[in-house]
Amino acid sequence: MISYCIVSLRPRYSSLLIADLIRKTTVPFEILLWLNIDDPAYESFLQEHIAQGEPIRIIGKTIENIGMQAYYPLFDQARYELIVQIDDDVIAVSRTIAEQARDIFLRFPRVKQLVADVWQDDYTTGARPPLSIYRLYRQDYGLYEGPIDGWFSIFHRSALPWLPRLPRTAYFPLGGMLKNSLKNRGLLGLLCARFKVFHVIGPQYAAYFGMLEAEIEKYRRLGRTEIVEWYERARNTLPDRDTMTCRVNDILAALEHPIGEPINCNRSSG
């Protein structure tokens, strides 16, 4: 039913994501990987899961980071009806995503792309703008029109011919570009609040997972000075480890269950 496509640059995050997908997916699935890094420990982790019979396929590897370019060979190799572009700093997902997405695609033929909602609290936006700027499409299915991208972007296999042409850069908003390509054909890419992911955005969570300096360097390399300044300012005001452990455990516990109904996505975990 579902092909998860992941371009791995940050093994610490990717390992958590892969384990979560394996544990929670209850329909036929595969995990397709492109390795944008040379990390023997991570490759050993993958080979252990492959040896256990998990449906993981390593499609390619480039020691030099080629960024988003790697998604296209993953999509070409995908076998299933639903194809998912996942940022490798998504580390956990809610249950029954594939089942709910398939139901929506069947009920609404114009909808060809569904982007998962994100966990939000006072430490993270999950990269999604405020829900107030979105327009409700179908309340009973938690569907909204507005800004979306590829943090967890599910598209129906029939949309493959309409994937946008590759820019000559490593990083580009592929999920948003697909949405625009669909719109030009009278089709829809929507945010879906009926399923949710933990997208690790924000210095507090990055620091908790030991990724603060790596993230600062990444954003500096991309010229995102406003994010670099945000992350650097946070260095001296980070919460203690126990506080962050409680928060992360609460998020992971919430994502253990299907969401299934539209929710207030601006909840603070306090």
pLDDT digits (tens, 9 = 90+) for 96-108: 999 999 999 999 9
- φ and ψ at residue 214, rounded to 5 degrees: -65, -40
At 137, the amino acid letter reads Y
Confidence of residue 233 (pLDDT cuts 50, 70, 90): very high
Residue 112, burial from CB neighbour count under 10 angstroms (0-12, 13-18, 19+) = buried
pLDDT tens readout for residues 146-186: 999 999 999 999 999 999 987 878 889 999 999 999 999 99
pLDDT tens readout for residues 20-38: 999 999 999 999 999 999 9
Domain spans of the chain? 2-164+174-254
pLDDT of 176 reads 96
In contact, 50 and 75? CB cutoff 8 Å: no
Q: How far is CA 21 from CA 27, 31, 134, 178, in A?
A: 11, 8, 28, 24
Report the interhelical angle of 225-234 vs 212-221 (nearest 10°).
Answer: 160
Average pLDDT, the chain: 93
Confidence of residue 246 (pLDDT cuts 50, 70, 90): very high
Residue 73 predicted with pLDDT over 50: yes
- Most confident range (mean pLDDT) of 44-48, 66-70, 256-260 is 44-48
pLDDT of 199 reads 98
Alpha carbon 38 to chain centroid distance?
22
pLDDT tens readout for residues 44-63: 999 999 999 999 999 999 98
In contact, 58 and 46? CB cutoff 8 Å: yes
In CATH terms, the superfamily for domain 2-164+174-254 is Spore Coat Polysaccharide Biosynthesis Protein SpsA; Chain A (3.90.550.10)
**pTM listed for this prediction:** 0.93
Beta bridge partners of 4: 31, 84
In contact, 155 and 70? CB cutoff 8 Å: no
In contact, 96 and 258? CB cutoff 8 Å: yes
